[in-house]
Chains A and B, each alone.
Chain A
Protein backbone atom coordinates (compact mmCIF):
# COMPACT_ATOMS: atom_id res chain seq x y z
CA UNK A 1 0.00 0.00 0.00
CA UNK A 2 1.45 3.30 -0.99
CA UNK A 3 0.62 6.53 0.75
CA UNK A 4 1.00 9.70 -1.31
CA UNK A 5 2.40 12.44 0.76
CA UNK A 6 0.53 15.74 0.82
CA UNK A 7 2.30 18.60 -0.95
CA UNK A 8 4.35 20.53 1.59
CA UNK A 9 2.48 23.64 2.71
CA UNK A 10 4.32 26.88 2.55
CA UNK A 11 5.20 27.87 6.05
CA UNK A 12 7.35 30.88 5.43
CA UNK A 13 7.59 33.56 2.79
CA UNK A 14 10.76 35.51 2.33
CA UNK A 15 11.68 38.34 0.04
CA UNK A 16 13.81 41.46 0.06
CA UNK A 17 14.61 41.12 3.71
CA UNK A 18 11.08 40.52 4.84
CA UNK A 19 10.16 37.26 6.53
CA UNK A 20 6.64 36.08 7.10
CA UNK A 21 5.96 33.13 9.40
CA UNK A 22 2.60 31.90 8.23
CA UNK A 23 1.97 29.58 11.13
CA UNK A 24 2.55 32.02 13.91
CA UNK A 25 1.45 35.04 11.85
CA UNK A 26 4.62 36.95 12.68
CA UNK A 27 6.52 39.35 10.43
CA UNK A 28 10.10 40.49 10.46
CA UNK A 29 12.09 42.92 8.38
CA UNK A 30 15.85 42.75 8.51
CA UNK A 31 15.41 40.67 11.64
CA UNK A 32 13.23 43.23 13.43
CA UNK A 33 9.80 42.19 14.59
CA UNK A 34 7.05 44.12 12.85
CA UNK A 35 3.79 44.29 14.78
CA UNK A 36 0.99 43.75 12.33
CA UNK A 37 -2.73 43.40 12.88
CA UNK A 38 -4.25 40.28 11.32
CA UNK A 39 -5.58 42.01 8.28
CA UNK A 40 -2.38 43.95 7.73
CA UNK A 41 -0.53 40.65 7.82
CA UNK A 42 -2.92 39.16 5.26
CA UNK A 43 -2.39 42.14 3.00
CA UNK A 44 1.38 41.82 3.18
CA UNK A 45 1.11 38.09 2.56
CA UNK A 46 -1.01 38.70 -0.54
CA UNK A 47 1.35 41.31 -1.91
CA UNK A 48 4.37 39.14 -1.25
CA UNK A 49 2.87 36.06 -2.80
CA UNK A 50 2.25 38.16 -5.90
CA UNK A 51 5.61 39.84 -5.64
CA UNK A 52 6.29 42.11 -8.57
CA UNK A 53 2.67 41.93 -9.78
CA UNK A 54 0.37 44.78 -8.96
CA UNK A 55 -2.94 43.99 -7.30
CA UNK A 56 -5.87 46.33 -7.92
CA UNK A 57 -7.91 47.81 -5.11
CA UNK A 58 -10.91 45.78 -6.21
CA UNK A 59 -8.91 42.57 -6.03
CA UNK A 60 -7.61 43.39 -2.57
CA UNK A 61 -11.07 44.33 -1.37
CA UNK A 62 -12.42 41.05 -2.57
CA UNK A 63 -9.64 38.90 -1.21
CA UNK A 64 -9.29 40.54 2.18
CA UNK A 65 -12.92 41.23 3.00
CA UNK A 66 -14.88 39.09 0.59
CA UNK A 67 -16.63 42.28 -0.45
CA UNK A 68 -17.10 42.54 -4.16
CA UNK A 69 -18.68 45.94 -4.43
CA UNK A 70 -16.91 49.16 -4.80
CA UNK A 71 -18.54 52.10 -3.11
CA UNK A 72 -15.50 53.33 -1.31
CA UNK A 73 -12.08 52.10 -2.20
CA UNK A 74 -10.84 54.21 0.66
CA UNK A 75 -10.92 51.08 2.80
CA UNK A 76 -8.06 49.51 0.93
CA UNK A 77 -6.10 52.76 0.77
CA UNK A 78 -6.25 53.14 4.52
CA UNK A 79 -5.01 49.63 5.13
CA UNK A 80 -2.14 49.95 2.68
CA UNK A 81 -1.20 53.22 4.28
CA UNK A 82 -1.03 51.63 7.70
CA UNK A 83 0.99 48.70 6.42
CA UNK A 84 3.37 51.05 4.73
CA UNK A 85 3.81 53.00 7.92
CA UNK A 86 4.76 49.90 9.79
CA UNK A 87 6.88 48.23 7.14
CA UNK A 88 8.58 50.98 5.16
CA UNK A 89 8.82 54.00 7.39
CA UNK A 90 11.95 53.12 9.29
CA UNK A 91 13.75 51.80 6.25
CA UNK A 92 15.30 53.51 3.30
CA UNK A 93 14.28 50.91 0.80
CA UNK A 94 10.54 51.14 0.13
CA UNK A 95 8.89 47.87 -0.66
CA UNK A 96 5.24 48.77 -1.14
CA UNK A 97 4.49 50.94 -4.15
CA UNK A 98 1.45 52.57 -5.61
CA UNK A 99 0.97 52.31 -9.33
CA UNK A 100 -1.60 54.82 -10.30
CA UNK A 101 -4.42 53.43 -12.33
CA UNK A 102 -3.20 49.90 -11.65
CA UNK A 103 -2.90 49.07 -7.98
CA UNK A 104 -0.38 48.22 -5.27
CA UNK A 105 2.71 46.11 -5.64
CA UNK A 106 5.41 44.60 -3.43
CA UNK A 107 8.89 44.99 -4.86
CA UNK A 108 12.23 46.62 -4.30
CA UNK A 109 12.76 50.14 -5.47
CA UNK A 110 13.75 50.29 -9.08
Chain B
Protein backbone atom coordinates (compact mmCIF):
# COMPACT_ATOMS: atom_id res chain seq x y z
CA UNK B 1 0.00 0.00 0.00
CA UNK B 2 2.75 2.45 0.96
CA UNK B 3 4.69 1.51 -2.16
CA UNK B 4 1.66 2.27 -4.25
CA UNK B 5 1.38 5.77 -2.82
CA UNK B 6 5.08 6.36 -3.26
CA UNK B 7 4.75 5.57 -6.94
CA UNK B 8 1.90 7.93 -7.61
CA UNK B 9 2.60 10.86 -9.87
CA UNK B 10 1.01 13.40 -7.54
CA UNK B 11 3.19 12.22 -4.67
CA UNK B 12 6.37 12.28 -6.67
CA UNK B 13 5.68 15.61 -8.30
CA UNK B 14 4.93 17.18 -4.94
CA UNK B 15 7.98 15.59 -3.40
CA UNK B 16 10.24 16.92 -6.12
CA UNK B 17 8.60 20.26 -5.92
CA UNK B 18 9.09 20.39 -2.16
CA UNK B 19 12.69 19.35 -2.59
CA UNK B 20 13.35 22.02 -5.16
CA UNK B 21 11.65 24.57 -2.95
CA UNK B 22 13.81 23.49 -0.06
CA UNK B 23 16.97 23.82 -2.10
CA UNK B 24 15.93 27.23 -3.37
CA UNK B 25 15.01 28.32 0.13
CA UNK B 26 18.38 27.21 1.43
CA UNK B 27 20.19 28.99 -1.36
CA UNK B 28 18.13 32.14 -0.85
CA UNK B 29 18.65 32.11 2.88
CA UNK B 30 22.34 31.52 2.46
CA UNK B 31 22.72 34.37 0.00
CA UNK B 32 20.67 36.72 2.15
CA UNK B 33 22.61 35.72 5.20
CA UNK B 34 25.91 36.32 3.43
CA UNK B 35 24.79 39.70 2.17
CA UNK B 36 23.62 40.73 5.63
CA UNK B 37 26.84 39.55 7.19
CA UNK B 38 28.80 41.49 4.59
CA UNK B 39 26.86 44.61 5.26
CA UNK B 40 27.22 44.23 8.99
CA UNK B 41 30.91 43.59 8.75
CA UNK B 42 31.45 46.51 6.42
CA UNK B 43 29.61 48.80 8.73
CA UNK B 44 31.44 47.39 11.70
CA UNK B 45 34.75 48.01 10.06
CA UNK B 46 33.77 51.55 9.20
CA UNK B 47 32.80 52.30 12.78
CA UNK B 48 35.93 50.78 14.23
CA UNK B 49 38.03 52.47 11.57
CA UNK B 50 36.49 55.77 12.42
CA UNK B 51 37.07 55.27 16.13
CA UNK B 52 40.63 54.23 15.48
CA UNK B 53 41.47 57.34 13.52
CA UNK B 54 39.65 59.47 16.07
CA UNK B 55 41.73 58.14 18.94
CA UNK B 56 44.92 58.09 16.92
CA UNK B 57 44.48 61.75 16.13
CA UNK B 58 43.75 62.51 19.78
CA UNK B 59 46.89 60.67 20.87
CA UNK B 60 49.01 62.56 18.43
CA UNK B 61 47.47 65.74 19.64
CA UNK B 62 47.63 65.19 23.37
CA UNK B 63 49.10 61.84 24.24
CA UNK B 64 47.57 59.36 26.65
CA UNK B 65 45.65 61.95 28.67
CA UNK B 66 43.86 63.24 25.65
CA UNK B 67 42.90 59.74 24.69
CA UNK B 68 41.62 59.06 28.20
CA UNK B 69 39.46 62.18 28.18
CA UNK B 70 38.01 61.38 24.82
CA UNK B 71 37.36 57.81 25.80
CA UNK B 72 35.40 58.85 28.88
CA UNK B 73 33.45 61.42 26.94
CA UNK B 74 32.61 58.90 24.28
CA UNK B 75 31.68 56.36 26.82
CA UNK B 76 29.01 58.62 28.29
CA UNK B 77 27.45 59.29 24.94
CA UNK B 78 28.12 56.08 23.03
CA UNK B 79 25.24 54.01 21.82
CA UNK B 80 27.59 51.22 21.26
CA UNK B 81 30.10 49.98 23.77
CA UNK B 82 33.63 49.97 22.50
CA UNK B 83 36.99 48.63 23.45
CA UNK B 84 40.17 50.71 23.67
CA UNK B 85 43.69 49.77 24.71
CA UNK B 86 46.90 51.59 24.52
CA UNK B 87 50.01 49.44 24.85
CA UNK B 88 53.69 50.09 24.90
CA UNK B 89 56.05 48.77 22.35
CA UNK B 90 56.72 45.87 24.76
CA UNK B 91 53.00 45.12 24.87
CA UNK B 92 52.42 46.46 28.36
CA UNK B 93 48.99 48.03 28.86
CA UNK B 94 49.13 51.79 29.28
CA UNK B 95 45.43 52.37 29.26
CA UNK B 96 42.56 49.98 28.98
CA UNK B 97 38.95 50.69 28.56
CA UNK B 98 36.66 47.81 28.02
CA UNK B 99 32.87 47.50 28.07
CA UNK B 100 31.39 47.24 31.55
CA UNK B 101 29.47 44.11 30.93
CA UNK B 102 32.53 42.37 29.76
CA UNK B 103 33.41 41.10 33.13
CA UNK B 104 34.79 38.00 31.66
CA UNK B 105 37.06 39.68 29.28
CA UNK B 106 40.61 38.86 29.86
CA UNK B 107 42.93 41.32 28.37
CA UNK B 108 45.68 38.78 28.79
CA UNK B 109 44.53 37.50 25.56
CA UNK B 110 45.87 40.55 23.93
CA UNK B 111 49.28 40.03 25.41
CA UNK B 112 49.46 36.87 23.43
CA UNK B 113 48.96 38.73 20.22
CA UNK B 114 52.37 39.73 18.86
CA UNK B 115 53.07 43.39 18.56
CA UNK B 116 53.00 44.58 14.99
CA UNK B 117 56.29 45.60 13.49
CA UNK B 118 54.94 48.06 10.98
CA UNK B 119 52.41 50.82 11.00
CA UNK B 120 49.81 48.96 9.01
CA UNK B 121 46.40 48.55 10.54
CA UNK B 122 45.69 44.98 11.46
CA UNK B 123 42.23 43.55 11.94
CA UNK B 124 41.38 40.54 14.04
CA UNK B 125 38.65 38.83 15.95
CA UNK B 126 39.07 37.61 19.51
CA UNK B 127 36.78 35.31 21.42
CA UNK B 128 35.90 36.04 24.98
CA UNK B 129 35.26 33.29 27.50
CA UNK B 130 31.55 33.75 27.41
CA UNK B 131 31.48 33.13 23.69
CA UNK B 132 31.08 36.72 22.60
CA UNK B 133 33.41 37.90 19.93
CA UNK B 134 35.40 41.12 19.80
CA UNK B 135 36.27 42.74 16.50
CA UNK B 136 39.55 44.57 16.84
CA UNK B 137 41.76 46.94 14.91
CA UNK B 138 45.41 47.13 15.88
CA UNK B 139 47.61 50.04 14.85
CA UNK B 140 51.19 50.76 15.73
CA UNK B 141 51.81 54.45 16.03
CA UNK B 142 54.87 56.38 15.11
CA UNK B 143 56.42 56.34 18.61
CA UNK B 144 56.01 52.60 19.09
CA UNK B 145 52.76 52.75 21.02
CA UNK B 146 50.15 50.34 19.84
CA UNK B 147 46.52 51.35 19.87
CA UNK B 148 43.73 48.81 19.89
CA UNK B 149 40.15 49.77 19.07
CA UNK B 150 37.35 47.24 18.89
CA UNK B 151 33.67 46.51 19.06
CA UNK B 152 31.69 43.65 20.40
CA UNK B 153 29.95 41.41 18.00
CA UNK B 154 27.46 40.33 20.57
CA UNK B 155 24.57 42.30 19.07
CA UNK B 156 25.21 41.44 15.50
CA UNK B 157 25.78 37.81 16.32
CA UNK B 158 22.46 37.78 18.12
CA UNK B 159 20.79 39.36 15.13
CA UNK B 160 22.24 36.84 12.75
CA UNK B 161 21.34 34.06 15.11
CA UNK B 162 17.74 35.25 15.16
CA UNK B 163 17.66 35.46 11.41
CA UNK B 164 18.89 31.91 11.08
CA UNK B 165 16.42 30.64 13.62
CA UNK B 166 13.49 32.36 11.94
CA UNK B 167 14.48 31.16 8.50
CA UNK B 168 14.68 27.60 9.72
CA UNK B 169 11.33 27.86 11.43
CA UNK B 170 9.72 29.25 8.32
CA UNK B 171 11.16 26.49 6.18
CA UNK B 172 10.03 23.88 8.65
CA UNK B 173 6.49 25.21 8.40
CA UNK B 174 6.36 25.99 4.71
CA UNK B 175 7.93 22.80 3.42
CA UNK B 176 5.28 20.36 4.61
CA UNK B 177 2.59 22.91 3.76
CA UNK B 178 3.92 23.25 0.24
CA UNK B 179 4.19 19.52 -0.07
CA UNK B 180 0.59 19.07 1.02
CA UNK B 181 -0.62 21.81 -1.31
CA UNK B 182 1.35 20.19 -4.12
CA UNK B 183 -0.29 16.88 -3.54
CA UNK B 184 -3.72 18.46 -3.47
CA UNK B 185 -3.20 20.46 -6.66
CA UNK B 186 -1.58 17.74 -8.72
CA UNK B 187 -4.17 15.29 -7.53
CA UNK B 188 -6.88 17.59 -8.77
CA UNK B 189 -5.12 18.14 -12.07
CA UNK B 190 -4.87 14.43 -12.59
CA UNK B 191 -8.50 13.78 -11.92
CA UNK B 192 -9.38 13.46 -15.65
CA UNK B 193 -6.58 10.93 -15.96
CA UNK B 194 -8.10 8.85 -13.20
CA UNK B 195 -11.48 9.20 -14.88
CA UNK B 196 -9.90 8.00 -18.10
CA UNK B 197 -8.38 4.99 -16.38
CA UNK B 198 -11.68 4.14 -14.85
CA UNK B 199 -13.52 4.39 -18.16
CA UNK B 200 -10.97 2.28 -19.99
CA UNK B 201 -11.23 -0.28 -17.25
CA UNK B 202 -14.98 -0.30 -17.70
CA UNK B 203 -14.60 -0.66 -21.46
CA UNK B 204 -12.34 -3.64 -21.08
CA UNK B 205 -14.69 -5.28 -18.62
CA UNK B 206 -17.93 -4.76 -20.52
CA UNK B 207 -16.56 -4.82 -24.06
CA UNK B 208 -18.57 -1.71 -24.92
CA UNK B 209 -16.68 1.00 -26.74
CA UNK B 210 -19.37 3.61 -26.98
CA UNK B 211 -18.54 5.29 -23.67
CA UNK B 212 -17.21 8.82 -23.34
CA UNK B 213 -14.96 10.32 -20.70
CA UNK B 214 -15.92 13.68 -19.25
CA UNK B 215 -13.28 16.28 -19.86
CA UNK B 216 -12.46 19.36 -17.89
CA UNK B 217 -13.10 22.79 -19.27
CA UNK B 218 -9.65 24.22 -19.76
CA UNK B 219 -7.75 23.52 -22.94
CA UNK B 220 -4.75 21.82 -21.37
CA UNK B 221 -2.77 18.75 -22.33
CA UNK B 222 -4.73 16.34 -20.20
CA UNK B 223 -8.12 17.46 -21.44
CA UNK B 224 -6.85 17.30 -24.97
CA UNK B 225 -5.84 13.72 -24.35
CA UNK B 226 -9.34 13.02 -23.06
CA UNK B 227 -10.91 14.56 -26.18
CA UNK B 228 -8.64 12.56 -28.46
CA UNK B 229 -9.41 9.44 -26.53
CA UNK B 230 -13.14 9.99 -26.97
CA UNK B 231 -12.67 10.43 -30.68
CA UNK B 232 -10.60 7.30 -30.81
CA UNK B 233 -13.19 5.20 -29.05
CA UNK B 234 -15.88 6.58 -31.28
CA UNK B 235 -13.84 5.54 -34.27
CA UNK B 236 -13.20 2.11 -32.85
CA UNK B 237 -16.83 1.67 -32.02
CA UNK B 238 -17.79 2.64 -35.56
CA UNK B 239 -15.26 0.25 -37.02
CA UNK B 240 -16.46 -2.62 -34.90
CA UNK B 241 -20.05 -1.93 -35.81
CA UNK B 242 -19.37 -1.79 -39.51
CA UNK B 243 -17.31 -4.95 -39.35
CA UNK B 244 -20.10 -6.74 -37.55
CA UNK B 245 -22.54 -5.49 -40.12
CA UNK B 246 -20.26 -6.56 -42.93
CA UNK B 247 -19.90 -9.98 -41.40
CA UNK B 248 -23.66 -10.27 -41.14
CA UNK B 249 -24.02 -9.31 -44.77
CA UNK B 250 -21.36 -11.73 -45.92
CA UNK B 251 -23.00 -14.53 -44.04
CA UNK B 252 -26.32 -13.67 -45.60
CA UNK B 253 -24.94 -13.30 -49.11
CA UNK B 254 -23.13 -16.59 -48.94
CA UNK B 255 -25.97 -18.44 -47.36
CA UNK B 256 -28.38 -17.88 -50.25
CA UNK B 257 -26.23 -19.57 -52.92
CA UNK B 258 -25.27 -22.32 -50.49
CA UNK B 259 -28.94 -23.00 -49.84
CA UNK B 260 -29.59 -23.31 -53.56
CA UNK B 261 -26.61 -25.62 -54.00
CA UNK B 262 -27.73 -27.85 -51.22
CA UNK B 263 -31.30 -27.87 -52.41
CA UNK B 264 -30.45 -28.79 -56.00
CA UNK B 265 -27.95 -31.41 -55.01
CA UNK B 266 -30.37 -32.99 -52.62
CA UNK B 267 -33.15 -32.96 -55.18
CA UNK B 268 -30.95 -34.59 -57.77
CA UNK B 269 -29.97 -37.28 -55.29
CA UNK B 270 -33.59 -37.90 -54.46
CA UNK B 271 -34.52 -38.29 -58.11
CA UNK B 272 -31.52 -40.56 -58.48
CA UNK B 273 -32.01 -41.94 -62.00
CA UNK B 274 -32.86 -38.76 -63.78
CA UNK B 275 -29.58 -38.01 -65.53
CA UNK B 276 -30.71 -34.78 -67.11
CA UNK B 277 -31.90 -33.47 -63.81
CA UNK B 278 -28.63 -34.47 -62.24
CA UNK B 279 -26.61 -32.68 -64.88
CA UNK B 280 -28.74 -29.59 -64.55
CA UNK B 281 -28.40 -29.69 -60.81
CA UNK B 282 -24.64 -29.93 -61.06
CA UNK B 283 -24.52 -27.04 -63.50
CA UNK B 284 -26.50 -24.89 -61.11
CA UNK B 285 -24.20 -25.90 -58.28
CA UNK B 286 -21.26 -24.65 -60.28
CA UNK B 287 -22.95 -21.36 -61.02
CA UNK B 288 -23.97 -20.76 -57.46
CA UNK B 289 -20.52 -21.78 -56.24
CA UNK B 290 -19.06 -19.21 -58.56
CA UNK B 291 -21.16 -16.58 -56.88
CA UNK B 292 -19.81 -17.53 -53.49
CA UNK B 293 -16.25 -17.69 -54.78
CA UNK B 294 -16.61 -14.31 -56.34
CA UNK B 295 -17.59 -12.83 -53.00
CA UNK B 296 -14.83 -14.59 -51.13
CA UNK B 297 -12.17 -13.73 -53.70
CA UNK B 298 -13.22 -10.12 -53.62
CA UNK B 299 -12.96 -10.07 -49.83
CA UNK B 300 -9.48 -11.50 -49.99
CA UNK B 301 -8.45 -9.09 -52.70
CA UNK B 302 -9.68 -6.16 -50.64
CA UNK B 303 -7.75 -7.37 -47.62
CA UNK B 304 -4.64 -7.84 -49.72
CA UNK B 305 -4.95 -4.43 -51.31
CA UNK B 306 -5.44 -2.80 -47.93
CA UNK B 307 -2.15 -4.33 -46.91
CA UNK B 308 -0.49 -2.29 -49.63
CA UNK B 309 0.86 -2.66 -53.13
CA UNK B 310 4.33 -4.10 -53.60
CA UNK B 311 6.74 -1.66 -55.19
CA UNK B 312 7.65 -4.00 -58.01
CA UNK B 313 4.21 -3.67 -59.53
CA UNK B 314 4.36 0.11 -59.71
CA UNK B 315 5.01 1.79 -63.03
CA UNK B 316 4.35 5.08 -64.73
CA UNK B 317 1.32 4.25 -66.85
CA UNK B 318 -0.25 6.41 -69.53
CA UNK B 319 -3.77 7.08 -68.22
CA UNK B 320 -5.22 6.72 -71.71
CA UNK B 321 -4.20 3.08 -71.62
CA UNK B 322 -6.29 2.44 -68.54
CA UNK B 323 -9.43 4.22 -69.65
CA UNK B 324 -9.20 2.73 -73.14
CA UNK B 325 -8.86 -0.79 -71.77
CA UNK B 326 -11.89 -0.32 -69.54
CA UNK B 327 -13.98 1.19 -72.32
CA UNK B 328 -12.96 -1.75 -74.49
CA UNK B 329 -14.21 -4.16 -71.86
CA UNK B 330 -17.62 -2.61 -71.57
CA UNK B 331 -18.29 -1.46 -75.12
CA UNK B 332 -20.50 -4.40 -76.02
CA UNK B 333 -22.31 -4.37 -72.71
CA UNK B 334 -23.13 -0.69 -73.12
CA UNK B 335 -24.32 -1.29 -76.64
CA UNK B 336 -26.54 -4.09 -75.43
CA UNK B 337 -28.25 -1.78 -72.99
CA UNK B 338 -28.41 1.01 -75.52
CA UNK B 339 -26.23 3.19 -73.30
CA UNK B 340 -23.74 5.64 -74.70
CA UNK B 341 -20.31 4.90 -73.29
CA UNK B 342 -17.90 7.78 -73.75
CA UNK B 343 -14.23 7.66 -72.89
CA UNK B 344 -11.85 10.61 -72.94
CA UNK B 345 -8.35 10.96 -71.62
CA UNK B 346 -6.03 13.94 -71.83
CA UNK B 347 -3.09 12.95 -73.99
CA UNK B 348 0.33 12.46 -72.50
CA UNK B 349 -0.76 12.05 -68.89
CA UNK B 350 0.81 9.32 -66.84
CA UNK B 351 0.19 8.08 -63.36
CA UNK B 352 2.26 5.94 -61.06
CA UNK B 353 0.58 2.73 -60.06
CA UNK B 354 -0.19 -0.90 -60.62
CA UNK B 355 -1.84 -1.08 -64.06
CA UNK B 356 -3.83 -4.20 -63.30
CA UNK B 357 -5.28 -2.82 -60.07
CA UNK B 358 -6.10 0.56 -61.53
CA UNK B 359 -7.81 -0.99 -64.51
CA UNK B 360 -9.80 -3.20 -62.23
CA UNK B 361 -10.82 -0.30 -60.00
CA UNK B 362 -11.94 1.80 -62.91
CA UNK B 363 -13.75 -1.20 -64.42
CA UNK B 364 -15.61 -1.60 -61.16
CA UNK B 365 -16.88 1.97 -61.31
CA UNK B 366 -17.93 1.65 -64.93
CA UNK B 367 -19.57 -1.66 -64.17
CA UNK B 368 -21.65 -0.05 -61.43
CA UNK B 369 -22.49 2.89 -63.63
CA UNK B 370 -23.74 0.64 -66.40
CA UNK B 371 -25.68 -1.47 -63.98
CA UNK B 372 -27.63 1.44 -62.61
CA UNK B 373 -28.15 3.47 -65.75
CA UNK B 374 -31.41 2.70 -67.53
CA UNK B 375 -31.67 2.05 -71.24
CA UNK B 376 -30.87 5.01 -73.43
CA UNK B 377 -28.73 6.63 -70.80
CA UNK B 378 -25.12 7.71 -70.81
CA UNK B 379 -21.95 6.79 -68.97
CA UNK B 380 -18.82 8.88 -69.42
CA UNK B 381 -15.25 8.20 -68.37
CA UNK B 382 -12.84 11.13 -68.29
CA UNK B 383 -9.23 11.34 -67.20
CA UNK B 384 -7.64 14.75 -66.69
CA UNK B 385 -5.14 16.57 -64.55
CA UNK B 386 -6.11 19.22 -62.00
CA UNK B 387 -3.33 20.80 -60.05
CA UNK B 388 -1.04 18.07 -58.82
CA UNK B 389 -3.54 15.28 -59.17
CA UNK B 390 -4.82 12.99 -61.88
CA UNK B 391 -8.60 12.67 -61.78
CA UNK B 392 -10.56 9.72 -63.13
CA UNK B 393 -14.23 10.65 -63.43
CA UNK B 394 -17.05 8.20 -64.05
CA UNK B 395 -20.44 9.78 -64.48
CA UNK B 396 -23.72 8.03 -65.09
CA UNK B 397 -27.27 9.14 -65.82
CA UNK B 398 -28.91 6.74 -63.46
CA UNK B 399 -31.23 7.39 -60.53
CA UNK B 400 -28.49 8.77 -58.29
CA UNK B 401 -27.88 8.23 -54.58
CA UNK B 402 -29.86 9.85 -51.76
CA UNK B 403 -27.94 12.28 -49.59
CA UNK B 404 -28.40 10.15 -46.49
CA UNK B 405 -27.09 7.07 -48.27
CA UNK B 406 -24.03 8.77 -49.69
CA UNK B 407 -21.62 8.20 -46.82
CA UNK B 408 -22.74 4.62 -46.44
CA UNK B 409 -21.82 3.45 -49.91
CA UNK B 410 -18.28 2.85 -48.80
CA UNK B 411 -19.19 0.32 -46.16
CA UNK B 412 -18.30 -3.14 -47.14
CA UNK B 413 -21.36 -4.86 -48.54
CA UNK B 414 -23.43 -1.78 -48.37
CA UNK B 415 -26.27 -1.70 -50.83
CA UNK B 416 -29.18 0.66 -50.89
CA UNK B 417 -32.54 -1.12 -51.00
CA UNK B 418 -32.72 -0.75 -54.71
CA UNK B 419 -29.56 -2.64 -55.42
CA UNK B 420 -30.21 -5.61 -53.22
CA UNK B 421 -31.00 -7.71 -56.22
CA UNK B 422 -27.70 -7.23 -57.97
CA UNK B 423 -24.45 -8.72 -56.90
CA UNK B 424 -21.09 -7.13 -56.48
CA UNK B 425 -21.96 -3.52 -55.76
CA UNK B 426 -21.17 -3.52 -52.07
CA UNK B 427 -17.81 -5.17 -52.29
CA UNK B 428 -16.85 -3.52 -55.53
CA UNK B 429 -16.76 -0.04 -54.08
CA UNK B 430 -14.81 -1.25 -51.07
CA UNK B 431 -12.28 -2.71 -53.44
CA UNK B 432 -12.03 0.53 -55.39
CA UNK B 433 -11.53 2.45 -52.19
CA UNK B 434 -8.81 0.10 -50.98
CA UNK B 435 -7.01 0.31 -54.31
CA UNK B 436 -7.19 4.08 -54.42
CA UNK B 437 -5.91 4.37 -50.86
CA UNK B 438 -3.07 1.98 -51.58
CA UNK B 439 -2.05 4.29 -54.42
CA UNK B 440 -1.97 7.22 -52.05
CA UNK B 441 -5.08 8.80 -53.52
CA UNK B 442 -8.66 9.48 -52.53
CA UNK B 443 -12.11 8.90 -53.98
CA UNK B 444 -15.21 11.04 -53.85
CA UNK B 445 -18.80 10.53 -54.85
CA UNK B 446 -21.20 13.26 -55.81
CA UNK B 447 -24.84 12.56 -56.52
CA UNK B 448 -28.29 14.03 -56.57
CA UNK B 449 -31.28 11.74 -56.70
CA UNK B 450 -32.65 11.84 -60.22
CA UNK B 451 -29.55 13.15 -61.91
CA UNK B 452 -27.10 10.29 -61.68
CA UNK B 453 -23.89 9.84 -59.74
CA UNK B 454 -20.33 11.01 -60.32
CA UNK B 455 -17.36 9.15 -58.91
CA UNK B 456 -13.97 10.80 -58.88
CA UNK B 457 -10.66 9.10 -58.18
CA UNK B 458 -7.82 11.47 -57.32
CA UNK B 459 -4.29 10.11 -57.63
CA UNK B 460 -1.02 11.91 -57.09
CA UNK B 461 0.54 12.72 -60.42
Our verdict on whether A and B bind, yes or no, reads: yes
Q: Which residues of A contact B (CB under 8 A)?
A: 39, 65, 67-72, 74-75, 78-79, 81-82, 99-102
- Enumerate chain B residues within 8 angstroms of A70, measured Cβ to Cβ: 294, 297
Taking the complex as formed, is B336 at the interface, i.e. its CB lies under 8 A from any CB of chain A? yes
Taking the complex as formed, is B330 at the interface, i.e. its CB lies under 8 A from any CB of chain A? yes
23 A-B residue pairings within 8 Å (CB atoms): A65-B329, A67-B325, A68-B356, A69-B363, A71-B298, A71-B364, A71-B367, A71-B424, A71-B428, A72-B333, A75-B332, A75-B333, A78-B332, A78-B333, A79-B332, A81-B336, A100-B286, A100-B287, A101-B282, A101-B284, A101-B285, A102-B283, A102-B286
- Enumerate chain A residues within 8 angstroms of B286, measured Cβ to Cβ: 100-102
Q: Which residues of B contact A (CB under 8 A)?
A: 280, 282-287, 294, 297-298, 301, 325, 328-330, 332-333, 336, 356, 359-360, 363-364, 367, 424, 428
Enumerate the 5 nearest inter-chain pairs by beta-carbon distance, A residue then B residue, closest first: A101-B283, A101-B286, A100-B283, A78-B332, A78-B336
Q: Is B424's CB under 8 angstroms from A72's CB?
A: yes
Q: Is the interface of B mostly helix, strand, loop or mixed?
A: helix
- Enumerate chain B residues within 8 angstroms of A72, measured Cβ to Cβ: 333, 367, 424
- Enumerate chain B residues within 8 angstroms of A68, measured Cβ to Cβ: 356
Q: In the complex, A81 Cα to B333 Cα: how many Å?
A: 11
Q: A71-B428, A100-B283, A101-B285 are in contact. Are A82 and B360 (CB under 8 A)?
A: no
- Enumerate chain B residues within 8 angstroms of A65, measured Cβ to Cβ: 325, 328-329
Q: Residue among B294, B301, B332, B356 with the most chain A CB within 10 A?
A: B332
- Enumerate chain A residues within 8 angstroms of B364, measured Cβ to Cβ: 71
Q: Is A67's CB under 8 angstroms from B359's CB?
A: yes
- Enumerate chain A residues within 8 angstroms of B297, measured Cβ to Cβ: 70
Q: A75-B332, A78-B333, A78-B336 are in contact. Are A99 and B360 (CB under 8 A)?
A: no
- B159 shortest CB reach to chain A, Å: 97
Q: In the complex, A79 Cα to B330 Cα: how many Å?
A: 10
Among residues of B, the one whose C-beta sits closest to the C-beta of A70 is: B294
Among residues of B, the one whose C-beta sits closest to the C-beta of A73 is: B290
- A87 shortest CB reach to chain B, Å: 15
Q: Is A101's CB under 8 angstroms from B367's CB?
A: no
Q: In the complex, A74 Cα to B294 Cα: how many Å?
A: 14
Q: In the complex, A67 Cα to B359 Cα: how many Å?
A: 9
